[in-house]
Amino acid sequence: MIDLAQLIDPAALVIVGGGTLLAATLRTPARDLARAARALATLHRAPFRSDALLEQVAALSRIARRHGALALDRSVIADRDVARAVAAVVDGAGSDEVSALLADARAARAERHRSAADAWAQAAEVAPAMGMVGTLVGLAQVFASMTDPAAIGGAMAVALLATLYGAVLANLVLSPVAQRLRSAARAEWFERGRLEGPLAALAAREAPVRLGRAA
C-alpha cells in the first residue's frame, strides 16, 4: 500500500508550485490573471443557456407591440447585453445597430473568456518545466552530497517528486480548468448568438413605427 506521506516534499512543492505561479505572473498581464482567478467561480455552474432570455425578449416584444417601445424602458432585465440592446431599441436604434451592438458585446465577452482560459493553459505548459527544474536541483544536491549518504535520499526525493508534481499539476489541475473554461465559452458564444435575431427583429419592427409617429 502506498504511503501518501512519502509523496509529500515541501522543497519540491515550493519549486513547482512557486515556479509555476511566478512564470504565470510574468507571462500574463495582471488583468488576465485576475480574470483567470475569477473564472474559477464559474466552473461549478451549468453551461449558459439563452432559453430564458429568449422568452423574456418574446415577452418584451409583445409589450412593445401593445404599448409601444417606450414601455420597454421600465422593464427589468438582468442580462447586461440584452439590457443594452433593449435600451438601444427604446432610443430608436435600427436592426443593424442592435445587431452590431450585440455582436461587439459577444466578441468582447469571448475575448475575456479566451484570456482567462489561456492563462490557465499557459500555466499548464509551464508546470512540467518547473518539475524538470526541481529534478535538476535535486540531482545537483545528490552530486553535492556524495560524501554524505544520509543527505542523498532527501535530494533524490526532490528530484523525483518535482517531476511528479509538475505532471500532476499540469494534467490533473491546470489543463482541465483551461479546457472547461473554453468549453463553457464556446457554449455561451453559440447561445448568445441566438439572441441577436429576435432583438434585431424587435428593433426593425419598432423603429419605423416611431419614425412614422414623429413625422
| Residue 211: per-residue pLDDT | 45
How far is it, in rounded angstroms, from Cα 111 to Cα 25? 19
| Residue 2: per-residue pLDDT | 63
Instruction: With a cut of 70, list the residues of the chain below it in pLDDT.
Output: 1-3, 208-215
| Residue 80: per-residue pLDDT | 94
| Residue 213: per-residue pLDDT | 44
| Residue 85: per-residue pLDDT | 95
Q: Return the closest-CA partner of residue 202 out of 118, 111, 90.
A: 90
How far is it, in rounded angstroms, from Cα 59 to Cα 61? 5
| Residue 208: per-residue pLDDT | 63
| DSSP code at position 145 | T
Read off the pLDDT of residues 62-86 as tens digits, 9 standing for 90 and up: 999 999 889 998 889 999 999 999 9
| Residue 148: per-residue pLDDT | 80
Read off the pLDDT of residues 16-45 as tens digits, 9 standing for 90 and up: 999 999 999 999 999 999 999 999 999 999
| DSSP code at position 45 | S
User: Cell 442580462 appears where?
Assistant: 79
Q: Which residues of 30-42 are buried (b: 16+ CB within 10 A; e: fewer)?
A: eebbebbeebeee
Q: How far is CA 197 from each of CA 98, 99, 119, 159, 214, rounded to the nearest angstrom?
A: 10, 8, 33, 58, 26
| Residue 49: per-residue pLDDT | 95
At residue 80, what are phi and psi to the nearest 5 degrees? -65, -45
| Residue 146: per-residue pLDDT | 81
Q: What are the sequence ranges of the domains in the chain?
A: 9-37+47-214
